[in-house]
Structure 1
Amino acid sequence: MSTDDFDEAAAWSAARGGDGPAFASLFDRHRDRVFWHALRLLRTRHDAEDVTAIVFLEAWRKRESVRLVDGSIIGWLLVTTNYTVRNQTRSLRRYRSALTRLPQPAPQDDHAPAVDEAIDREERTRVVREAFARLSQRDQDVITLCVLEELTTGQAAEALGVPEGTVKSRLSRAKQRLAAFTGAATAATSAADATTDTPTDPTILEGGAR
């Protein structure tokens, strides 16, 4: 997956034996990719940073069972990111439920300038994020590896420990489900806009599900 001279397989072999500096080199190599994937799925950088830390902690704790693909651990890290985000989201739901029972703060005037493009971009992100969250763990993993991170179906199969044909069939079904969920969310948004006489941008999901 990489064309540079870094021998990731050798570094991982050393890390599995307890070599801290070798593990640190792998953290430096992959932390940004894990962070940006986590940020795709979460609302804030703080949450994405927490998930990134947890993923690498799990990699260290479970290093005996981590599966390499083409000499790299990135596939395992990305799948573990999905799993961690799902758990994180469940915890956040519980916290938010508790927060709703607290007194609401007094409203404050928003003095920030209105930027329509930023609002539209946030709405597209919200729709795709929520649609992705509705997918099963298996669907999330195959979309992450093959669509978001552009691994080959063969590499994804090796990372997931399943036949390549299974990945291809899962990918096809996962894309269909993601498209259906994003379409349903857009339709719901359009209906809400119509009731408030607010025009809806027909390209809201452009560049979303692929």
Structure 2
Amino acid sequence: MGIDAGEEAATWQRALSGSGAAYASLFREHEGRVYRRALSIVRDVHGAEDVTSATFFELWRKRRAVRVVDGSVLPWLLVTTVNLARNHRRGSLRYRALIATLPREESPDAESIALSNVETMLLGVRLSDALARVNRSDVALLVLTAVDGLSISDAAAAIGIKPGTARMRLSRARERLQASLTNEQHRFSQAAAKGENA
């Protein structure tokens, strides 16, 4: 049950004079028709909502130039809706075409991910085993300098030894750790080779 042309013309005049209530009344009156027209062109609910909003924004922005037909702004709204909906649809098609041309990065397959996870886990086990064979205070030196980023002097002070002693012990601990990891890697490679030949 809409407002008649005489009422709408008066409502439009009040809207032109700055009445928000009058403008809201016109919105409520014509929003459904504008939305349906937009939806028939863009064929997307969200797109139709955007076009409807843009249409009523244009009604307000261009209010001084709006042509009223038989006392109603509906014809102007529908023409504007068609133009905005067609622009929206063209823009969406261009966007989709652009997206389709972009190179797609291949996602790693499940086997590669699983293999990487296993390798990381095995490295963690080997590192833990190697660290178990190093003196506890030397492990602390390694962790404080390599993981926590402390200087050798600060790590030495934290453990309670002289910086020169810490340098020497850290150097030996690194060598032992490297040798232990190398031996573990060699044993792992031999075991893997035997498994492949079995």
Length-normalised TM-score, structure 2: 0.49
Length-normalised TM-score, structure 1: 0.46
Using CA pairs below 8 Å that are at least 6 residues apart, which structure has the higher relative contact order? 1
Higher helix share: 2
